[in-house]
């Protein structure tokens, strides 16, 4: 919800009606990627900070500089801030804007995957490692070769292979890569978006190398189709992909979920393999207070949970968000029940 539309909101009342409260209040956190490692929940969010950069459609005011890792013994327990896990100044190739990260574990090593703008102004995706799920993490000297855009989400398949899903339009620069090479700004930052009657831009997926430090293949498109098997169109803004990829599996099916960005929904589509195609199925989360919506889904003790954020604690400041958690449920057909973040 844009800032100009929130002036009338009574935030004290809104916070009382919220279905969940911020996990931490001493700092602003967003874009939560949640995982269960060794029987404990670990959340890898971005860390929102005050910024003097004016609001724009490219998200320039999201000027995050480091990552903190939150941990919880259970979904009902207090969230612990484990301190700074990685800072932009420690990443040789990165200049600024450490946006939404994710993490994975393999053979006792923990991997933090993160986007940042390189010194040439192009978003790349990097990797940092640690023997501990809370860090500190040591970054690789270079970004992943062939990486671009934002919002990495890494999924471990049942066969032990790992896949990275990524991409975001507008400030995430995905539209600048439509030709396979980065295009300069040209006549405007959104000039390379497809027309409304053309297929929407796709998120990307790439299988990772055995050491999880590189792509094992060239990134492929994640195709989301309508009920007739046709690609969603760019003008279908309430269903098409914008950013915030996530993958999980339920009852043998692959659930690709994502944010619709400027229409503020978290949606999902179902497929039968990690590459798709994925058939649009429905909405997971209705709009929250704040312009962005970003999430993750994980299972803990045979229950499923949605991790998300809103800007209620900061009274609507779009760049100062707070991570939350709520239970997620499926119906008998495997469809996710849509969640409304505030009670009437």
Q: Are 16 and 302 in contact (CB under 8 A)?
A: no
- Report the Cα–Cα distance between both ends of the chain, in Å, rounded: 17
What are the residues facing 60 on neighbouring strands? none
Tokens of 80: 């612990």
Which entry of 31, 102, 151, 310 is annotated as an active-site residue? 31
Cis peptide preceding 277, ω within 30 of 0: yes
DSSP letter at 233 equals B
Closest CA to 125 of 155, 93, 84, 156: 93
User: Would residue 243 show up in a list of annotated catalytic residues for this protein?
Assistant: yes
For the sheet with 253-259, list strands across it.
224-225, 278-285, 266-271, 253-259, 243-250
Helix (H) / strand (E) element for 277: namely none
Rg (CA), the chain: 18
Q: Could you give the CA distance from residue 38 to residue 14 in angstroms, rounded to a whole number? A: 36
The residue with tokens 């967003």 is 30
User: Would residue 331 show up in a list of annotated catalytic residues for this protein?
Assistant: no
Which entry of 145, 243, 262, 299 is annotated as an active-site residue? 243
Closest CA to 232 of 176, 191, 277: 277
Q: 215 vs 41, 166, 247, CA distance in Å?
A: 27, 12, 17
- 7 Cβ contact partners less than 8 Å away, ≥ 6 residues apart: none
Helix (H) / strand (E) element for 15: namely helix 11-17
Helix (H) / strand (E) element for 248: namely strand 243-250
Q: 179 vs 151, 193, 222, CA distance in Å?
A: 20, 12, 16
The residue with tokens 């100009």 is 4
Q: Are 18 and 342 in contact (CB under 8 A)?
A: yes
Active centre residues (catalytic) = 31, 243
């Amino acid at each position: 919800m844009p800032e100009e539309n929130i002036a009338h909101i009574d935030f004290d009342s809104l916070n009382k009606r919220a279905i969940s409260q911020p996990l931490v209040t001493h700092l602003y956190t967003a874009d939560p990627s949640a995982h269960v490692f060794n029987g404990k929940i670990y959340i890898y969010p971005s860390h929102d900070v005050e910024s003097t950069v004016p609001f724009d459609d490219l998200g320039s005011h999201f000027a995050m500089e480091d990552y903190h890792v939150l941990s919880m013994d259970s979904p009902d327990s207090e969230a612990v801030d484990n301190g700074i896990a990685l800072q932009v100044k420690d990443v040789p190739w990165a200049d600024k804007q450490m946006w939404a990260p994710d993490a994975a574990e393999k053979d006792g090593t923990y991997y933090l995957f993160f986007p940042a703008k390189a010194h040439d102004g192009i978003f790349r995706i990097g990797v940092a490692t640690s023997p501990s799920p809370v860090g500190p993490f040591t970054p690789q000297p270079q970004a992943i070769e062939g990486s671009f855009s934002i919002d990495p989400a890494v999924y471990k398949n049942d066969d032990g292979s790992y896949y990275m899903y990524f991409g975001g339009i507008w400030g995430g620069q995905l539209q600048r890569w439509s030709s396979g090479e980065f295009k300069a700004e040209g006549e405007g930052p959104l000039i390379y978006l497809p027309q409304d009657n053309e297929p929407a831009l796709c998120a990307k997926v790439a299988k990772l190398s055995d050491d999880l430090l590189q792509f094992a293949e060239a990134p492929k498109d994640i195709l989301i189709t309508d009920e007739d098997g046709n690609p969603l169109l760019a003008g279908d803004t309430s269903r098409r992909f914008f950013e915030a990829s996530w993958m999980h599996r339920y009852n043998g099916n692959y659930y690709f979920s994502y944010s619709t960005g400027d229409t503020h929904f978290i949606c999902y589509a179902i497929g039968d393999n990690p590459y798709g195609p994925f058939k649009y199925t429905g909405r997971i989360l209705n709009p929250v207070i704040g312009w962005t919506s970003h999430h993750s889904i994980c299972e803990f003790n045979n229950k499923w949970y949605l991790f998300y954020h809103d800007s209620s604690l900061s009274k609507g400041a779009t760049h100062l968000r707070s991570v939350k958690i709520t239970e997620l449920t499926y119906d008998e057909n495997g469809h996710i029940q849509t969640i409304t973040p505030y009670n009437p």
